[in-house]
Structure 1
């Protein structure tokens, strides 16, 4: 499959804006990305990673999220236990446990590598509690999104050849018959 990086950027912008609208994130919130560039280019997850596609995806997300002061955490693959790349300042502000690993193309994936290269002071953390996230290629981001998770259906359900899903979170409803909820 031939990939048009401009189309990837355009489609990802639309998808991300759909998720941001649904999630109603605030300054400082964390947005998690799980992405298989192999799936984006039409391959099988983990078998056709594209450094160029990964760099385009991370660059596009940072262009959207940075002006909003929303922090991007990029999930790696199972070969690094789905640890996430984020800026050190974010990890330290949230007291996330920093782990010792540097992502590689086939141990972390192209988006993790791109984030590690594009961040000013990148670290890997074992877990995060994101407020919303985007899953490109069915990489399973749910473990990193705060409860209660609510599916978001972006207007586009594919990026390149990859299936796209998204999550946002909302506070838990607690109480009984007398409780009211302001959402």
Structure 2
């Protein structure tokens, strides 16, 4: 198996385990941060390739088709970690377009490749329901509160370290707060 196929297989397995635990639903937003340089064994921002981006994109697209999630691709720091998103989804969610086009040397190979697919635009920031960070690209700024790490049996694609997350609603309240909808009628304590 060549390197690209190995990367795809590793990513496919990670995404499968992630979905088992996170149970993403149709139309949820899923952010991808990916350093193709790190996947290839280089330092982030030094050796990104469109070939690696294309291979990983294929697997990410298959994941989106299977789960119904909508993909968003985070750019590198040179574009302030802006996000590639389908124009229709950006409009639906009320995100404003920013004037930049990601390229391999400013945005990163993965974001540049994703930008060329479908009808994509760049937005400044999003609030995703979950995501995958391949190569320590720091996707946390694009996740809803509260991010919950998802642990899997593997932690890498190629040479890149991988971290994945889902999100959950904030738990607010105190000792009398109820967080589950079941048996709410049984809780007839004193009123506020």
- Are the aligned partners of 1:74 and 1:84 in contact in 2 as well (CA < 8 Å)? yes
The TM-score with structure 2 as length reference comes to 0.90
Deviation sequence 1:104-124 (CA, Å, 0-9, x none): 011011111111122x10101
**Whole-angstrom distance in 2 between the partners of 1:92 and 1:101:** 17
Which residue number corresponds to residue 131 of structure 2?
133
- Are the aligned partners of 1:103 and 1:109 in contact in 2 as well (CA < 8 Å)? yes
Q: Does 1:19 align with 2:18?
A: yes
- Are the aligned partners of 2:73 and 2:114 in contact in 1 as well (CA < 8 Å)? yes
| Cα displacement (A) at 1:145 | 0.5
| Cα displacement (A) at 1:63 | 1.1
| Cα displacement (A) at 1:82 | 0.4
| Cα displacement (A) at 1:24 | 1.7
- Are the aligned partners of 2:31 and 2:74 in contact in 1 as well (CA < 8 Å)? yes
Which residue number corresponds to residue 112 of structure 1?
111
Which residue number corresponds to residue 70 of structure 1?
69
- Are the aligned partners of 1:99 and 1:125 in contact in 2 as well (CA < 8 Å)? yes
Matches within 5 A, 1:1-183: 4-118=3-117, 120-182=118-180
Q: CA RMSD in A?
A: 1.2
| Cα displacement (A) at 1:68 | 2.5
| Cα displacement (A) at 1:142 | 0.2
How many pairs does the alignment contain? 180
**Whole-angstrom distance in 2 between the partners of 1:14 and 1:67:** 14
**Whole-angstrom distance in 2 between the partners of 1:108 and 1:140:** 14
Gap runs ≥5 in structure 1: none
Deviation sequence 1:55-77 (CA, Å, 0-9, x none): 11111101111232210000000
**Whole-angstrom distance in 2 between the partners of 1:136 and 1:154:** 14
**Whole-angstrom distance in 2 between the partners of 1:63 and 1:28:** 15
- Are the aligned partners of 1:55 and 1:110 in contact in 2 as well (CA < 8 Å)? no
The TM-score with structure 1 as length reference comes to 0.95
Gap runs ≥5 in structure 2: 182-192
SS in 2 for 1:98: coil
| Cα displacement (A) at 1:25 | 1.4
Larger-Rg structure:
2
